[in-house]
Amino acid sequence: MNTLKDKALVVIGGSSGIGFRVAQLAADEGARLLIVGRDVGRLQIAQTDLEARGVTVETRQVDAHDHAALESLFNELPVFDHLVSMIGDVMGGGFVGADIAVIRHVIESKFFTNVHIGQLAATKVREGGSLVFTSGTGGRAQDACASYVGNLGINALVEGLAVELAPKARVNAVSPTWTVTPFWRDVPPAQIEATRDHFEQVIPLKRTANIDELASAYLFLMNNGFVTGQHIAVDGGIMLGA
């Protein structure tokens, strides 16, 4: 296994939630960090926390869905060893009753934005480095139509990029199922609890994940130099009974 000590890590969507915890765990291994996010306040809080762990931290305020801004970001980025992308909006429900604009937005967010990130990152990742994307699991097309399509797209993306970038760099994805994180900060608490109760019933392990169980999978994929083209489901076995 490799180590992240003195490695340069870019986390897109790293100012809160799973991405922030990935950054914290990487900082504890001695990584040098560049955190990309949309919210200045959350970026400042994240930077203060991470610097207190004794590592070098830079931040960039960028909305990754703005592809021109994304290109500008990568144009100014130095080369790096690893990149993690947390980018991807979600939706629930099937195709019949869904607003086509929402379907289009989610697929654009989850798939095409990450394709663009992959294209740009390919020119900046160092020999022996990696890209780790965020896919998803826990529902079928009729449950979360555009999210399901986007997840399939990311899984295909990592397989293609893994071949295209080998042997220079590795490409993988982590596929979490629904988990309580700050991503859901704008959802009413009662709805959060109802969703948690539902998943606790359908997940074979009868609980949802904690954030470290998700974040540690990203570190595994960065540190293990012989895993590429894979999407690792961290989902408590939810799809086994689906």
Q: Can you give the pLDDT at residue 1?
A: 57
Q: Can you give the pLDDT at residue 183?
A: 75
Q: Which CATH class is domain 8-185+210-237?
A: alpha beta
CA distance 27 to 15: 13
* Other residues' Cβ atoms within 10 Å of the Cβ of residue 34: 22
CA distance 214 to 182: 14
pLDDT digit string (tens) for the chain, length 242 residues: 568 999 999 999 999 999 999 999 999 999 999 999 999 999 999 999 999 999 999 999 999 999 999 999 999 999 999 999 999 998 889 999 999 999 999 999 999 999 999 999 999 999 999 999 999 998 899 989 999 999 999 999 999 999 999 999 999 999 999 887 877 777 788 888 888 888 899 999 999 999 999 999 999 999 999 999 999 999 999 999 75
Q: Can you give the pLDDT at residue 101?
A: 97
Query: How far is residue 8 CA from its own chain's centroid?
Result: 17
Q: Please say whether the beta carbons of 34 and 87 come within 8 A.
A: no
Q: Which two tokens stand for residue 71?
A: 């290109």
Q: Please say whether the beta carbons of 158 and 171 come within 8 A.
A: yes
Question: Residue ranges per domain, the chain?
Answer: 8-185+210-237
CA distance 154 to 175: 10
E-strand spans in 107-216? 125-134, 169-176
pLDDT in tens, 147-190: 999 999 999 999 999 999 999 999 999 999 988 787 777 778 88
For the CA atoms of the chain, what is the radius of gyration? Answer: 17
**Positive or negative, the Cα torsion across 9, 12, 17, 18?**
negative
Query: How far is residue 203 CA from its own chain's centroid?
Result: 21
CA distance from start to end of the chain = 34
CA distance 89 to 112: 12
Q: Can you give the pLDDT at residue 153?
A: 97
Q: Can you give the pLDDT at residue 58?
A: 97
